[in-house]
Structure formats: structure tokens, C-alpha cells
Chains A and B, each alone.
Chain A
């Protein structure tokens, strides 16, 4: 029988097949969790989209409803984190990166709308830091010293560009609802974030493209503010 295998020790390919199959099994296991997360993300964005048609004074019910779905997403992320921390992070992270980014975006929007505050005194217009999002998701952020599941800077920044896209839409819709203050807050916020992105040295990647797109959002919201000021609709106190 030894004569059958002169050049290749068949154990080589048996071993390789076993390794490749083991990776495939990990992928299958993670896939279900990622699909569950995707569902939670859809629910979060479904609920939060009501912000476009809800006056600020009534927003707390929307935020509470969103919080429920966010908690579900956090639960799934925790399970994902447990499972994924057993394998090299960057070997598989492309599988979930997109969904983790969407959850992050949901949390950022929820936080901006005042989700972190209590009751009616919710503070709006606040940008949750990457650490705050990590706390909310119960996962570490920007991990460097050990190999485990975490939220990356890129994911956070991409989620932030999504938030800006959504807020530029909210600026217009606020005006429709008769809220002339919110566009001003959004205007300032987008400018501040845009200024932040300006200091990054981005390579030719998705983050660069998204970051380049921010200037159009800045302009959109400026146009809204211009329209308001032209018609003397800007509330006095914010003018000063």
C-alpha cells in the first residue's frame, strides 16, 4: 500500500481538509447569530424612523420602544462575542462587521435623540463616544492587546457617517413638523463631526468614500437653515 503514495503523504490533505471544514463549521454557527442581529437591527431602525414624524415632545415613547429592540440586539451581540472570541477576531470579523456597524448606528441615533436621558428631560444632540457604545453593547472597543471580539474604530466611524445621513433627513422633516430649532442643532452637530473627519488621514477605502460624502450632508442642512433664516423662522435665542 505504501507504493500508492509516493509523492504526497495523504495525511497532508486530510489535515488541511479538517482545518478548512472546522472553519466552515465556525462560520455556520456565527451565521445564525448574525442573521438574528440583522433582524434586531431592522426592528431598531423601523422604530427609530418614527422620529421623522414625531414631535420632540412625544419622542420618549419612540425611544423606549427602540430601547427594547436595542436590548435584544445587545443580547445577540453578547452571544456573538462569546462565540467569536474563541476564534481569531480578524479571521471572521468581515462576517459580522456590517451588522455590528448597523447596531452601532442604531445606538448612536437613539442616543442622539435623547435615548440615554431619563424621562422628558432627555438630552438631545449628544454623540455617544465609542466607549459609551461599547458599554451599551457590553463589548470592549478598539482592542489591541488581546484577541477577542470588540467594536472597531472603523465600525464606529462608519456608523457615525450613517447617523449624519439620517440627521440631514431629520433636519428637513423637523421643519415639516414645525420644529425650527432642531435643524440648527443638527447643523452645528454635522459641522462638528465633519470637522472631526477632516483630521483623519484616510486611505482609499469605504471610510474615505463615506467621509467624502459628509460635505454634501453639511450643505443640505445648511440649505435648510438658510431657508429658515430667509423667512425669519429661526428662533431668537439660538440666533444669539
Chain B
């Protein structure tokens, strides 16, 4: 393509355009690399999530089988972030936002989900950001936008829902962690806004007072649902995404509530392993994802 015909060679602008070509080629190469890395990060993150869905414990370390199975995927993610870190520095930090956003979101989904299973808390934005920075290595941090974090958290709720439904279908009860209410994140809580929030939802009355009551997945889902519902997105592409994901997120929480309802009402009647409602729920849940 660099070959120039006789007519082209005579163009006085050829040198200028050749300079542009070089610049544009560099840009396109970077872009391609980032698209590829983003795709690989997405695929590896999905695999990690699949494995985590076989975990049945909450608030405990990830069992060895899952750690072992996921190690190669974490390595892929690290390798991919490292490979593009240099491309996303300085002025280019935001240039390829649209190319990296898919990988970042999916990674956050897997990271927040694993973190939740282990600690029964939501990993903070700063910690998630630091995690991506660590994976990016020496070349400088790949930046994680608040937008990608939020959209990843929305997606994580679908995973927590699947985890809950599976656990309920298998064990006949809603997954509950070892953590007590009192053991939430320290400090900060003092200044927490709107303590009345929790009153808006139909929580069993005993929960707020019983500090030693372990939290169930449903408690957590309701809590994060409130946080996300209070979030006020801007009018933008991101705002549209939030709106769409908000609906899906609410459906996810509803599904768990419905499953728990049928477990409560019919739970004592059902023979072991017979859970038609939950089965149905679970199938549609997978589809919607």
C-alpha cells in the first residue's frame, strides 16, 4: 500500500500524508491490541465466574478446587493487562475507553463476586482500582473508571442471584454467612447517610436489632439494591446502561425473594430435592443472563 503510482508520487502532500499514515497506524495497532486483550480478559473472567458458581460456601475462603481451576485464568488476566498497560498511559489513558470497557466490566464482575463469596462484602472502588493497577505491572496502571466499576457491580448481582438459587435448590435454605451484623466495615458507619433506608424494605423486624444475627444473601442483595437504586447516573451512554441494568438487577433480587417465599411456604411439604418453582426460576435466570 506504500507503493505510489506516478501520479501519486507527484502530489506535493505525499510526505505529509506519509507522516499521518505512521501516526494512524500506531493508533490502530494500539487499538487492536486493546480490543484483543479486552476480549481475552472478558473470556477469562467468565470462566472464573463459572467456577465460582460451583462454590457453596459464603464468607469463607474459596475452596481449593476453585482456586486451582481459576489460577490459569487469573494469570491470563494479568498477562493481558500487562500487555496493554503501556498503551494506556498519559494522554492515551482514556483514548481507548470504549475498547477496554468490556474487559474491565467483566473483570470487576468476577472480582466483586469472588470478593463477596470470600468476605460477604462489596469490594470498594479504590481496592478494585488498586487491583487492576497491580495486575497492570510495571508499565503503569490501566485505569479503572467508576463507570466500569458500577456496571460490573450490577452484573455481579446476577451472579449472586444464581449462587443463591443454586444453594437454595441444593441445600433447601438461603445461603447465610458466618459474619454478624456487627462485624461490618468499621468506622465510616457513623456518618452513614439515611439510616432510615432499611426501613423502606420489608425486612424481618428482628434483623436490625439482633446484632449477632448472621447476614443472609438476601439481606445483602436488598442492601446493595438500595445503594444502586439511590445512585443517580448522568444523562449519557453510561446513564442508559445503568437504567437497563437497574431493571435486570431488580429482577434478580425479586427472583431470590420469590424463591425464598416458595421455600418458606412449601418448604416443609416438599420431599427432598423436589423444588419445581426454583427450577423454573433458575432456568429463566440463566436465560436473562
A192-B13, A199-B1, A201-B1 known; A5 and B224 CB under 8 Å? Answer: no
* Binding-face segment, B45-53, B193-201, B251-259, B271-279: B193-201
Q: How many A-B residue pairs have CB under 8 A?
A: 165
A6 engages B198 (CB within 8 Å): no
List the B residue with the shortest CB-CB distance to A200.
Answer: B21
B94 engages A88 (CB within 8 Å): yes
- In chain A between 11 and 39, which residues have their CB closer than 8 angstroms to a CB of chain B? 11-17, 19-21, 23-24, 27
B13 engages A7 (CB within 8 Å): no
B223 engages A6 (CB within 8 Å): yes
Q: Does B66 make an interface contact (CB < 8 A)?
A: no
Choose among B11, B12, B28, B195 the residue with the greatest number of A CB atoms under 10 Å from its CB: B11
Partner of B227, one of A10, A89, A154, A203: A10
B14 engages A195 (CB within 8 Å): yes
Choose among A3, A10, A20, A143 the residue with the greatest number of B CB atoms under 10 Å from its CB: A3
B90 engages A145 (CB within 8 Å): yes
CB distance from B137 to the nearest CB of A (A): 21
A4-B192, A16-B150, A192-B11 known; A199 and B2 CB under 8 Å? Answer: yes
A2 engages B91 (CB within 8 Å): no
What per-residue 1/0 map shows which CB atoms of B140-170 lie under 8 Å from chain A?
0000001101100000000000000000000
B11 engages A196 (CB within 8 Å): yes
- Bound CA–CA A93/B187 (angstroms): 40
A15-B125, A90-B93, A201-B28 known; A196 and B211 CB under 8 Å? Answer: no
Q: Does A191 make an interface contact (CB < 8 A)?
A: yes
CB distance from B6 to the nearest CB of A (A): 10
- In chain A between 93 and 146, which residues have their CB closer than 8 angstroms to a CB of chain B? 127, 129-130, 142-146
- Bound CA–CA A11/B190 (angstroms): 11
Q: Does B95 make an interface contact (CB < 8 A)?
A: yes
Q: Does B118 make an interface contact (CB < 8 A)?
A: no
CB distance from B5 to the nearest CB of A (A): 8
Q: Does A230 make an interface contact (CB < 8 A)?
A: no
Q: Does A53 make an interface contact (CB < 8 A)?
A: no
Contacts of B182 in A (CB 8 A): 2-3
Partner of B181, one of A6, A199, A201: A6
Secondary structure dominating the interface of A: helix
Contacts of A153 in B (CB 8 A): 20, 23-24
B146 engages A19 (CB within 8 Å): yes
Q: Does B219 make an interface contact (CB < 8 A)?
A: yes
Query: What count of chain B residues pass the 8 Å CB interface test?
Result: 67
B21 engages A191 (CB within 8 Å): no
A8-B223, A16-B146, A193-B13 known; A199 and B21 CB under 8 Å? Answer: yes
A143 engages B233 (CB within 8 Å): no
Q: Does B64 make an interface contact (CB < 8 A)?
A: no
Partner of B12, one of A9, A20, A192: A192
- Bound CA–CA A8/B188 (angstroms): 11
A192-B11, A201-B21, A201-B25 known; A20 and B146 CB under 8 Å? Answer: yes
What per-residue 1/0 map shows which CB atoms of B182-210 lie under 8 Å from chain A?
11111011101101011000000000100
Of the A-B pairs whose beta carbons lie under 8 Å apart in the complex, a sample of 17, sorted by A's number, is: A2-B184, A2-B186, A5-B189, A7-B219, A8-B223, A9-B184, A10-B188, A10-B192, A10-B193, A11-B124, A13-B228, A90-B92, A90-B97, A191-B11, A195-B13, A196-B16, A201-B21
Taking A9-B121, A24-B234, A202-B24 as known contacts, 16 extra A-B pairs with beta carbons closer than 8 A to each other, sorted by chain A number, are A1-B190, A3-B181, A3-B211, A4-B198, A6-B184, A7-B121, A13-B231, A16-B146, A91-B97, A142-B23, A192-B11, A192-B13, A193-B13, A196-B16, A199-B21, A201-B25
Q: Interface residues, chain B, CB within 8 Å of chain A?
A: 1-2, 4, 7-8, 10-14, 16-18, 20-21, 23-25, 28, 31, 90-95, 97, 116, 120-122, 124-126, 146-147, 149-150, 179, 181-186, 188-190, 192-193, 195, 197-198, 208, 211, 215, 219-220, 223-224, 227-228, 230-234
